[in-house]
Amino acid sequence: MTASQLRSGACLCNAVTFDITVPEAVYNICHCGMCRKWTAGPLMAVHCPGKPIFTNQEGLAWYQGTDWAQRGFCARCGSSLFWRLAENPDAMTIVSAESFDFSEDLKLGRHIYIDAKPERYDFRDDCPRVTEAELLAELGITPGSD
């Protein structure tokens, strides 16, 4: 996929269903402690500009884990679905790669929060690795603001 494409997705029980524009078929892996606790492993997710268009959001709930970020999930089945900036929630949405109805074409882009990755697992690829400080600088977030 080279051009932006509208993709559909849902939680496990379909109490949250959505469409969102995916700019390219690339996902990133987040190794931060919060993502690992939230998903029971590293989070594999796609960065999408804008917000989802919900076709069903009766199960949708948001958790404000830090001063600057929110995590969206299904309150019925517990599926981890979204991550967004709290100050500007409509600007971008990070979407769990496995919540899409079709994700087979997604390619790994990079690892983020690589300095938080525990020693007990590793991925054997040569994709770029980005530290917490490097990612927060990209997002314009001052460390310690959570």
| CATH code, domain carrying 36 | 2.170.150.70
Whether 112 is in a domain gets the answer yes
Residue 1 has pLDDT above 60, yes or no: no
- Write down the pTM of the prediction: 0.90
Residue 128 has pLDDT above 60, yes or no: yes
> How many structural domains is the chain composed of?
1
| DSSP letters for 23-86 | SSSEEEEE--HHHHHHHTS-EEEEEEES--EEEE-TTEEEEE-SSSEEEEEETTT--EEEEEES
Q: Which residue has the higher pLDDT, 59 or 139?
A: 59
Whether 25 is in a domain gets the answer yes
Range of the domain at 30: 5-139
